[in-house]
Amino acid sequence: MTTDQNFTLAEQLDRDDQLRNFRSRFYIESENTIYLDGNSLGRLPIKTKELLSEVVEKQWGTELIESWNLHWYQKPAQLGDKIAPIIGATKGEVIVSDSTSINLYKLAHAALKLQKGKTTIVSDDLNFPTDLYISQGLLKEFGPDYKLELAKTTDGITIETEELKSKITKNTALVVLSLVAFKSAFMYQLEEITEHAHKMGAVVLWDLSHAAGAVEIDLNKCNADLAVGCTYKYLNGGPGSPAFLYVRKDLQDKLSSPIQGWFGDALPFEFDLNYRPVEGIRRFLTGTPPVLNLMAIEPGIDMVNETGMKNIHQKSTQLSEFFLSMADSELSDYGFEVGSPTEPEKRGSHVSLKHDEAYRICQALIHPKSSTLKIIPDFRDPDNIRFGFTPLYTTFKEVWQTAQRLKEIIRDKEYEQFSTQRSEVT
Ligand SMILES: Cc1ncc(COP(=O)(O)O)c(C=O)c1O
């Protein structure tokens, strides 16, 4: 397809897009900014802006401490129940609490205790560093018999299912995996991996950070054990919004949180001097949540539920397929290589392009010198530019414009005007 044909196609796809009206429910300051980093920090829903001023002025300002009973105390469980359908869980199986890293620690620790006698954790070398750091920390805590086995990628993009399966043995206590890999967007087959792990007697803890709100997930259908995930990416909960955790119903009372905070006690306001974990999902709460961040999550989740994950996943696939087709027909002569799986069923909602000058190209997209168009993807070492497609607000025209800007930056060597010195946050 030519550039012009792709433009016509983009216009057609936008016209046919059933989700196109959701874009106006987000705060978009300028149509000249194309935001392709919703896989890192989702855009601000307009309703969140309004809600936060109510939370600050009415709830905190006027109702003060009464707001705990009126609005705040039940919110972690209420939000958990609203996240449940997004990930294929049941009410009472999900709760909002702490950060993804802390939730991963709590659930991984609890699983290792449950699996006493088995001493291996299995993960992969495409996993997000925090998942591996926490696993490494648990090895120190549980003792020298424990070890971490990593399935290895051969192409930097995917993990072969057989490679992963070969690492899971009868001695595997826990398998910790990101459903969608943060760099390449590679996506595991959740059901197949879970089933295999169960056959070997292992518990699986899924990190859904790059998947929740982007792809269809059915934890209950797959009999998944445990999961955690961020709310600030495709759920649009806001910077630093607390994370969610999922524990299958029948496992909840068999597991104990290693952080025995008072919010997980049966009756926190009795102030008993001895901890008595409450029954059910609340036992994985720790202490007072960051209320402003917590309250900010709801409008984003409501929008995802209103749209439905089937529709979201379908548009996500269309957006990335369109981008990949242009990567093939328009960008390959410009030194770009695809750093994501090309099969849609093996991919999340972002696409990575690799280039020797990836960092400086990314800078040129974000800080244009010769264009009125500002495009925000992000950069991941050593050579990946990640383009995150958020079906609720990304348009096909934006995807087309991004491909044209990439060509322009290379053709005019605009990236040469930028330093290779990395910013603190890339
Ligand atoms: C896959 C994955 N897991 C975990 C995290 C860490 O989350 P947090 O910093 O909220 O603990 C991230 C952050 O981007 C992530 O992408």
pLDDT digit string (tens) for 4-60?
Answer: 999 999 999 999 999 999 999 999 999 999 999 999 999 999 999 999 999 999 999
Q: Would you call 114 exposed, middle or buried from its count of C-beta atoms within 10 A (0-12, 13-18, 19+)? A: middle
The CATH number assigned to the domain holding 17 equals 3.90.1150.10
pTM: 0.97
| Average pLDDT score over the chain | 97
pLDDT level of residue 169 (50, 70, 90 thresholds):
very high
- Co-location of 312 and 174 in the same domain: no
- Co-location of 246 and 326 in the same domain: no
CA 130 to chain centre: 13
pLDDT at 425: 83
- What CA–CA distance (Å, rounded) separates 390 from 22? 11
Asked if residue 230 has its Cβ within 6 Å of ligand 1, the reply is yes
- What CA–CA distance (Å, rounded) separates 219 from 83? 12
- Co-location of 100 and 178 in the same domain: yes
Q: What residue's CA is closest to ligand 1, atom 8?
A: 100
Number of domains composing the chain: 2
Q: What residue's CA is closest to ligand 1, atom 14?
A: 40
Q: Is residue 281 pLDDT above 90, yes or no?
A: yes
**Which one of 41, 99, 100 would you pick to mutate in the ligand 1 pocket, going by the greatest count of ligand atoms within 8 A of its CB?**
100
- Co-location of 108 and 240 in the same domain: yes
pLDDT level of residue 134 (50, 70, 90 thresholds):
very high
Asked if residue 209 has its Cβ within 6 Å of ligand 1, the reply is yes
Asked if residue 37 has its Cβ within 6 Å of ligand 1, the reply is no
Domain boundary (306, 327, 355) is at 306
pLDDT at 300: 98
Domain assignment of residue 355, yes or no: yes
Active site residue 147: no
Which DSSP category does 43 fall into?
P
pLDDT at 426: 80
CA-based nearest residue to 45, from 297, 271, 319, 277: 297
Q: Is residue 423 pLDDT above 90, yes or no?
A: no
Domain assignment of residue 298, yes or no: yes
- Co-location of 23 and 137 in the same domain: no
Q: Span 309-336, mean pLDDT?
A: 97
Q: Which atom of ligand 1 is nearest to the CA of 178?
A: 1
pLDDT level of residue 371 (50, 70, 90 thresholds):
confident
- Co-location of 15 and 160 in the same domain: no
The answer to whether the beta carbons of residues 264 and 289 sit under 8 Å apart is no
Q: Identify the domain containing residue 127 by its residue range.
A: 73-306
- Co-location of 127 and 218 in the same domain: yes
